[in-house]
Amino acid sequence: MKKTAGIVLSLVLAASALTACGNKKDDAAAGSDNKLVIGVTGGPHEEIAKEAAKVAKEDGLDVTIKAFSDYVLPNTSLVEGDLDANSFQTLTFLANFNKEKGENLVSVGTTILTPMGLYSKKVKSYDDLKDGSTIAIPNDASNGDRALNVLASQKVITLKETGDKLVTPKDVDENKKNFKFVELEASQLPRQLDEVDAAMINTNFVLEAGMDTKSALLKEGTDSPHLNAVVVEESHKNDADVKKFVKAYHSETVKKFIEEKYDGAVIPVFDK
């Protein structure tokens, strides 16, 4: 009798242990440990993420923010599991990364638009750029394509039809001022303004360098498709903690912070 009772007790304990393990696994799968590690680039992305983290804290979510100085590591770190999410890239950059690397990262919510602009230390207006001037653009495929399309939208150049393929300087068709295009690391473009006549620079790097976005010779329109987003691995897109962070980012508190701090240089795009 005692032996039978002992066997039954052992089975109950074993079942309880398995149930406990199952619950922990389910909790992990749901992403509900109230902790999140977010990768960002310096400047507005980092500053806004910190503000969103404050709001998320009020909802019980503890957000750790890791800042990177380039456009490569935030995605590779996410793929390798060192991050739970990142907030630094446009939807077009994301699509190109997935295509090139064979990954399946997804957007869980749009965040901001940071209009790209043409900046110079040598001239005060676009008309002052001489024939044959050297224009620097980002050397990553997505932002290089974006820079050339902004210039095309401003009638600076025309581009050949490339279908779904991203354009490069080789795809420049009409170039009335015979500009020479050089491709450089995006984060280094503000530092390279002494070496080139002008450069197409992302707003986050403009602000990080202490430059005035209103000094741009030309600027991307607010109808740009290059919206930034919070990005995760597809398997985590429905995690509770991810949803909490996006909710915090899309709060009125964060929207007001963006509008007051950046005065139009950074535009909240939460409803896209």
pLDDT of residue 246: 98
Domain boundary, last residue among 219, 237, 252: 219
Please give the residue that has the higher pLDDT: either 19 or 219.
219
Based on the fold, state whether residues 74 and 200 are members of the same structural domain. Answer: no
Q: Is the pLDDT of residue 254 over 60?
A: yes
Q: Which amino acid is at 45?
A: H
Q: Is the pLDDT of residue 245 over 90?
A: yes
Task: Check which CATH number belongs to the domain holding 60 and give it.
Answer: 3.40.190.10
Based on the fold, state whether residues 239 and 263 are members of the same structural domain. Answer: yes
Helix (H) or strand (E) holding 145: helix 141-153
pLDDT of residue 106: 98
Q: Is residue 4 part of a domain?
A: no
**Distance in angstroms (rounded) separating the CA atoms of residues 39 and 46:** 8
The number of folded domains in the chain is 2
Based on the fold, state whether residues 175 and 211 are members of the same structural domain. Answer: yes
Contact (CB, 8 A) for 88 and 69: no
Q: Is the pLDDT of residue 7 over 80?
A: no
Question: Could you report the per-residue pLDDT of 257-270, keeping only the tens digit for each?
Answer: 999 999 999 999 99
Question: Could you report the per-residue pLDDT of 109-130, keeping only the tens digit for each?
Answer: 999 999 999 999 999 999 999 9
Q: Is residue 207 part of a domain?
A: yes
**Distance in angstroms (rounded) separating the CA atoms of residues 34 and 27:** 10
As a whole number, mean pLDDT of residues 167-182 equals 97
Q: Is residue 26 part of a domain?
A: no
Model confidence band, residue 222 (pLDDT cutoffs 50, 70, 90): confident
Contact (CB, 8 A) for 31 and 236: yes
DSSP string across the chain: -HHHHHHHHHHHHHHHHHHHHHHHHHHHHHT-SSEEEEEEETTHHHHHHHHHHHHHHHTT-EEEEEEESSSSHHHHHHHTTS-SEEEEEEHHHHHHHHHHHT--EEEEEE-EE---EEE-SS-SSGGGPPTT-EEEEESSHHHHHHHHHHHHHTTS--B---TTSPP-GGGB---TT-PEEEEE-GGGGGGGTTTSSEEEE-HHHHHHTT--GGG-SEE--TT-S--EEEEEEGGGTT-HHHHHHHHHHTSHHHHHHHHHHHTTSSEE-TT-
Tokens of residue 10, six digits: 């052992």
For CA atoms 123, 126, 128, 134, give the dihedral sign. positive
As a whole number, mean pLDDT of residues 22-31 equals 47
As a whole number, mean pLDDT of residues 223-235 equals 95
The mean predicted confidence, pLDDT, of the chain is 90
Domain that holds residue 104: 32-114+226-268
Question: Could you report the per-residue pLDDT of 128-156, keeping only the tens digit for each?
Answer: 999 999 999 999 999 999 999 999 999 99
**Distance in angstroms (rounded) separating the CA atoms of residues 121 and 192:** 10
Q: Is residue 203 part of a domain?
A: yes
Q: Is residue 8 part of a domain?
A: no
Based on the fold, state whether residues 92 and 152 are members of the same structural domain. Answer: no
Model confidence band, residue 23 (pLDDT cutoffs 50, 70, 90): very low
Model confidence band, residue 31 (pLDDT cutoffs 50, 70, 90): low
